[in-house]
Amino acid sequence: MNADHVVIECRNCDLRESFPNLGQARLGLADHESTTGHDIDWQIDRVDAGVERAGADAGVCGVDGCENPDSPLLAWQSSDG
């Protein structure tokens, strides 16, 4: 089974490469852009459920008021410590 879960493709050439994580993929993108001058457009098709929940709870969809103020993921904002 292939352990690489992040795939990048360049629309300007035949580059298609897979990486084990987003950090490594971003390094691959930066390297390709700097060596070729290509401007890569990329997207994330799927993330783990926990990542999706964290984004939704934080309100990262860009719509004001859609964050979840009761989320335990945001508890650090109200801690006294």
Question: What pairs with residue 23 in β-bridges?
Answer: none
Cα 69 to chain centroid distance, Å, stands at 23
- Of residues 76 and 17, more confidence is placed in 17
Over residues 5-61, the pLDDT tens digits come to 788 888 899 988 888 888 898 899 899 999 999 987 776 777 778 777 777 777 766
Question: What pairs with residue 6 in β-bridges?
Answer: 19
Q: Where are the domains of the chain?
A: 1-61
Q: Is the model's pLDDT at 1 over the cut of 50?
A: no
pLDDT at 37: 93
Give the C-alpha separation, 40 to 80, whole Å: 43
DSSP element (H, E) containing 18: strand 16-19
**Listed ranges 60-64, 70-74, 76-80; the one with the highest mean pLDDT:** 70-74
